[in-house]
């Protein structure tokens, strides 16, 4: 991303101009070999789609790989996909070598046009759909309607046009069960940073009484323990104090906990200015996602881009809702492997970001550096996922 684009993102009254510019860029890619561009108009705006394939004949395809961006006000997927396509355009990626003749790539870089065009305080800076709901809660109902254990799937709302459009686009490939379908959904989260800060401020102070009230806090501490080979003997490491508790406590000795806290602070210092991230998988996509995450992580960690981790990926067991990842385990279709890539949130509150940009002389330089790290992660993930079968 360049400075001009970042400034345009922050000029929320001019989002339509940026949106049109993005559509024009995507359209221009259709001049390239094997690339087809289409747009689909729904009541909430225009959804652009890019197809890359050597054949649209469903009987000649063995693999369909779907990349989804900007379900929310999270633009790593959108601009990462654009960067990937620009590399093809500049012939820095040889598309003939990258895609096999029996593989189709589908890119949906901007799934929530209403949120993109209308960021406001009422819709969490463009996070939600027009009706105030989360698009990433409808996928299980869309692709696995016979599933019995719907939980946080917005059951009280009709399916949005967005997910119905994707189902329609995927229909002929979905119906041919010999075709393996891989889905990578790009997201951003502020919880990685916030959890690190909260742990650094309170874990040592509260010690054994500290409440691990979110899975990422457990993940961060387990990551520290694994990276530094800190032994622990009580299992499970994190345990509820009662069956109905909404939190856990850590089962370590005082000396062990002191060591973990010391290494936590060291970890925060060593990974300052690096990009926090993780991949998430379903049971079906577990082996594929772990392989993908390890390849991407091992490549980018040598470039000093990503924060250090023992776990580049982990199971999406922490939440039961209708997201794309949980969809693959809910459907009876066998060859569907859905995954998610999370990295640092850039525009949690667009209005605070606008104010920061006005008073912090280093704002644009720091923000662009972090955004471009996340885009490099997206591009590398796309490149590697295309290669892996």
pLDDT in tens, 96-142: 888 888 999 999 999 999 999 999 998 999 999 999 999 999 999 99
- 3-191+275-387: which CATH topology? Aminopeptidase (3.40.630)
Q: What is the pLDDT of residues 343-364, one digit of tens each?
A: 999 999 999 999 999 999 999 9
All residues at 6 or more sequence positions from 287 whose CB lies less than 8 Å from its CB, including other chains: none
Could you tell me the pLDDT band of residue 81, with boundaries at 50, 70 and 90?
very high
Q: What pLDDT, on the 0 to 100 scale, is given for residue 366?
A: 95
Burial class (CB in 10 A: 0-12, 13-18, 19+), 155: exposed
Residue 264's alpha-carbon distances to 33, 216, 238, in angstroms, are 49, 14, 17
- Spatial CB neighbours of 29, under 8 Å, sequence gap ≥ 6: 35, 37, 50, 85, 88, 89
Listed by start position, the domains of the chain span 3-191+275-387, 192-270
More confident residue, 83 or 97: 83
- pLDDT in the model for residue 77: 98
176-190 residue pLDDT tens? 999 999 999 999 999
Cα 7 from Cα 97, distance rounded (Å): 36
Q: What is the mean pLDDT of residues 204-208?
A: 91
List alpha helices for 144-244, DSSP H. 161-175, 191-206, 215-227
Residue 302 has a pLDDT of: 85
Helix then strand then coil, % of the chain, to nearest 5 = 45, 15, 35
Q: How many CB atoms lie within 10 A of CB 201?
A: 10
* Cis amide linkage into residue 67, ω under 30° from 0: no
DSSP bridge pairs for 180: 63
Largest CA distance in the chain: 64
What is the tens place of the pLDDT at every residue in 1-42? 999 999 999 999 999 999 999 999 999 999 999 999 999 999
């Amino acid at each position: 991303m360049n400075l001009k684009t970042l400034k345009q993102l922050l000029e929320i009254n001019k989002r339509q101009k940026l949106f049109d510019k993005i559509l024009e860029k995507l359209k221009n890619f259709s001049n390239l070999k094997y690339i087809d561009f289409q747009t689909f108009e729904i009541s909430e705006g225009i959804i652009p789609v890019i197809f890359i394939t050597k054949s649209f004949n469903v009987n000649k395809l063995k693999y369909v790989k779907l990349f989804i961006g900007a379900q929310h006000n999270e633009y790593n997927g959108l601009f990462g996909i654009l960067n990937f396509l620009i590399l093809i355009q500049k012939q820095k990626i040889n598309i003939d070598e990258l895609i096999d003749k029996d593989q189709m790539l589908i890119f949906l870089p901007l799934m929530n046009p209403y949120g993109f065009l209308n960021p406001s305080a009422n819709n969490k800076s463009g996070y939600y759909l027009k009706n105030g709901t989360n698009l990433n809660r409808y996928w299980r109902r869309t692709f696995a309607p016979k599933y019995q254990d719907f939980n946080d799937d917005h059951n009280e709302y009709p399916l949005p046009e967005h997910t119905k459009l994707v189902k329609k686009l995927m229909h002929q490939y979905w119906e041919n069960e010999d075709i393996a379908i891989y889905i990578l959904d790009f997201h951003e989260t502020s919880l990685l940073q916030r959890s690190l800060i909260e742990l650094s401020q309170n874990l040592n102070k509260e010690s054994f009484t500290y409440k691990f009230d979110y899975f990422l806090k457990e993940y961060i501490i387990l990551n520290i323990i694994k990276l530094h080979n800190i032994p622990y003997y009580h299992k499970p490491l994190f345990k509820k104090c009662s069956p109905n508790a909404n939190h856990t406590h850590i089962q370590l000795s005082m000396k062990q906990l002191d060591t973990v806290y010391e290494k936590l602070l060291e970890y925060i210092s060593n990974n300052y200015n690096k990009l926090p991230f993780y991949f998430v998988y379903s049971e079906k996509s577990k082996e594929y996602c772990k392989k993908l995450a390890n390849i991407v992580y091992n490549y980018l960690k040598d470039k000093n881009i990503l924060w250090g981790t023992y776990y580049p990926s982990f199971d999406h067991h922490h939440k039961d809702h209708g997201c794309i990842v949980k969809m693959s385990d809910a459907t009876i279709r066998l060859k569907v492997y859905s995954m998610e890539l999370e990295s640092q949130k850039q525009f949690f509150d667009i209005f605070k970001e606008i104010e920061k940009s006005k008073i912090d002389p280093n704002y644009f330089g720091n923000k662009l550096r972090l955004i471009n790290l996340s885009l490099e992660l997206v591009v590398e993930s796309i490149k590697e996922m295309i290669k892996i079968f």
